[in-house]
Structure 1
């Protein structure tokens, strides 16, 4: 560092901080938010930290400086993280008569409060779903008092129901033989599930919507909030998410069927929340067959993937697609899988 000029020294200090934070983030999936909520907040910034370290590696490499080794080593230690951020191979799509497709989409109340200027958001979402024609559809922030009609589907919680929390809906081309709602206390968020029959197999499908932080995603407004406020708010949210995941896992442990878990986790693939849900028996369908960043949430400057479709390891993933239509603050995702 002695041979660096003043600007170079400043850059290396920033580089060192970014490398240190990324290194710390590698332990986040093993740290329960209830034990260390402030540290868990760092999981949201992992995509940015990865991109920063890639930038610094290239920056020093072009200057043939040994400082490039810092980010290179840290990135190499977390090589698996890169697969969660970006898929370098093009999406595979394998046609098979036994394929089934699953779509997950946070529809943001079909633009009920007019966040988007378009007056046809609901109609456009319905058209997208009909065009894609998935076998199973999992919707979050769905308005049961303003339902959509999809011919050829069985549905659960798709119309107003006083006995089940509104917000999530499930549509299936396969017969639904069992269904229910897993209520999370003191929140409007919840999880619903259905058991569907495909030929001789019964498959459990969960649709989750975990607690939202409520943090403003408008960058200009976000700057006005103090870092202390943000850390406290997000840390509290992650504690609530942990409690919700514990309830979900307890429920899931009693299921004897092959399982698909979908939904808006409101957290990233670098978090304790994601790791606990995924466990040892589920695979991330994006990591198996996705392409690019797989961005599912509309946030400026760096990609956030907080919506997931996880499938039992008994499934083979034959395709994955992230859509770019801006009809919500989330982007829909769809996977094609086959039960072995």
Structure 2
């Protein structure tokens, strides 16, 4: 099953969506694999060496969930915050104060509700669900999903060109289609028939959304590849590491958490299960310096992410 998860890099959901479904269980599968490896070691079985060797192939996939990078020696000159604020339902004023305290250069907001008053940042609400704030001049902006068929209004992506110290960068504020889950839909209560129905209903929602994500990511991928400028892609992807969405979006880009992150990358905490679904990717020429998921902030069902970079 772990090997099947890695096949998401090659097999899209429209061909075989079950590998993408497996990616949701990656943390559990890895823990089971480690436990089984130790079992063979303590049982003095030769197969333990096989398990330890094969386990090396899963080090990079694990680093996309939990990472302990050394400190970068670069000096940052660009700070970015991305935060799904759940419409500000848990405290808009507190969210505003928190973002202001970060003194960021660029802020990506998803599930936008009411307008935020951010210090030294200008914003423009031109696409539903998402909002972009920046200290820098916006040269051009485009709604990438405006002609996407069958996308519900939770699927949004805006392509924005900004000028930073005389150089243009292209940024993408992303919110891939939501699954539409609430806690009661995923919480099993021990009743066999009810739990079985819940699991079937979850799968019925997951598979079509995976396929919708494929279309949405392919649009983003095309615009990344055709960009004449260095790119930064950030937001809520509603997809975990080692999923098709992750592999396809990150091609040729750096995952800032993978490069310089420390500790758990979990960004969605509402289900008490490790789900990293918020990301910041950047072109090779944009060097990540630091990355932090602020697990102390409970102003949304997502944790805010702050990253710094060095740009020329």
TM-score (norm 1): 0.82
Q: Which residue of 2 aligns with 1:128?
A: 98
1:258 deviates by 0.7
Q: Which residue of 1 aligns with 2:144?
A: 182
Alignment map for 1:259-274 (pairs within 5 Å): 259-274=231-246
- Aligned 8 A contact 1:215 1:234 in 2: no
Q: Which residue of 2 aligns with 1:296?
A: 267
Bigger Rg over Cα: 1
Distance change >3 Å, CA 329–CA 301, structure 1 → 2: closer
The RMSD of aligned alpha carbons is 2.2
**Which residue, out of 144, 160, 183, partners 1:194?**
160
Q: Which residue of 2 aligns with 1:140?
A: 110
SS at match of 2:217: helix
- Does 1:287 find its partner at 2:258? yes
- Aligned 8 A contact 2:254 2:284 in 1: yes
Q: Which residue of 2 aligns with 1:339?
A: 311
Q: Which residue of 2 aligns with 1:6?
A: none
Question: Counterparts of 1:76 and 1:25 in 2: how far apart (Å)?
Answer: 15
- Does 1:323 find its partner at 2:287? no
Question: Counterparts of 1:139 and 1:167 in 2: how far apart (Å)?
Answer: 8
Distance change >3 Å, CA 273–CA 227, structure 1 → 2: same
Question: Counterparts of 2:289 and 2:183 in 1: how far apart (Å)?
Answer: 34
Q: Which residue of 2 aligns with 1:220?
A: 187
- Aligned 8 A contact 1:315 1:338 in 2: yes
- Aligned 8 A contact 2:82 2:306 in 1: yes
Q: Which residue of 1 aligns with 2:204?
A: 232
Q: Which residue of 1 aligns with 2:86?
A: 108
- Aligned 8 A contact 1:284 1:310 in 2: yes
SS at match of 1:149: coil
Deviations 1:33-54 (A, max 9, x none): 0111233211111122112212
Question: Counterparts of 1:190 and 1:265 in 2: how far apart (Å)?
Answer: 10
- Aligned 8 A contact 1:136 1:173 in 2: yes
Question: Counterparts of 1:88 and 1:64 in 2: how far apart (Å)?
Answer: 31
**Which residue, out of 224, 231, 242, partners 2:214?**
242
Question: Counterparts of 2:165 and 2:69 in 1: how far apart (Å)?
Answer: 33
1:63 deviates by 5.0
Distance change >3 Å, CA 67–CA 215, structure 1 → 2: farther
SS at match of 2:228: coil
Distance change >3 Å, CA 301–CA 50, structure 1 → 2: farther
TM-score (norm 2): 0.89
Q: Which residue of 2 aligns with 1:86?
A: 66
Question: Counterparts of 2:183 and 2:47 in 1: how far apart (Å)?
Answer: 34
Question: Counterparts of 1:56 and 1:300 in 2: how far apart (Å)?
Answer: 26
1:131 deviates by 0.9
How many residues of Structure 1 are paired with residues of Structure 2 in the alignment?
301
- Aligned 8 A contact 1:105 1:140 in 2: yes
SS at match of 1:305: coil
SS at match of 1:317: strand
Question: Counterparts of 1:299 and 1:57 in 2: how far apart (Å)?
Answer: 31
Question: Counterparts of 2:226 and 2:104 in 1: how far apart (Å)?
Answer: 27
1:197 deviates by 1.1
Question: Counterparts of 2:93 and 2:174 in 1: how far apart (Å)?
Answer: 24
